[in-house]
Amino acid sequence: MWPSRINTRLAIEIHRVLHDVAESGGAIGYVSPPTRSETDPWLEQTLAAVQTGNAAFVVASVEGTIQATGLWRRNPEAVFSRSADLHKVMTHPSARGLKLGRLVVHALIDSARTAGLETLDLSVRGNNYGAIQLYEELGFHEWGRRPNVVEVGNERYDLVGMTLHLGRDPDVVLRGSEPGGSGWSPRR
């Protein structure tokens, strides 16, 4: 399902997933399980971005109960408008093993292509080997690593940056890091 408006049931079920994943140690951006006063505003902001076309939010249900989530959010800066970041890709602990994470990420990739995005980026904790493997299987590759920047109490973890190229219009010129073009300056 692709929710675009908040309602009480959606808020309750999304909170349950976020809370329980964080409580089980999931690396989803919360040090401790969030309260509704944290998750409801996040959901409202996410769905506001969906309504403007700057995000897509997908949920997967099992027997009528939301068990997995994920979203892409477009970068707000004009020079990055064809790029988006994946966020909050997770499966409730009771539904792990059902391949819902794979289903959610596939749906987000398809949605991003339909929206005209050229790249999807994500960050994942360095010790989240299962997620890294899933993303690699779906075509993402590591572009960099920030050592020991994720803080969980007095422990530190690497942050792994990954990207997926979705394709570009044939008239797009790829300059990479070659000299010349907009913003260029010579070496000193």
Give mean pLDDT, residues 157-180.
91
Confidence of residue 127 (pLDDT cuts 50, 70, 90): very high
pLDDT band at 90 (very low <50, low <70, confident <90, very high): very high
Mean pLDDT for all residues in the chain: 94
> What average pLDDT does range 51-55 have in this prediction?
95
Q: Higher-confidence residue: 180 or 167?
A: 167
Residue 163 pairs in a beta bridge with 121, 141
Task: Using alpha carbons, select from 36, 45, 37 the residue that is nearest to residue 15.
Answer: 36
pLDDT at 175: 83
**Confidence band of 115 (pLDDT split at 50, 70, 90):** very high
Helix residue ranges per DSSP H, the chain: 8-23, 36-51, 100-114, 129-137
What is residue 152's three-state secondary structure? strand
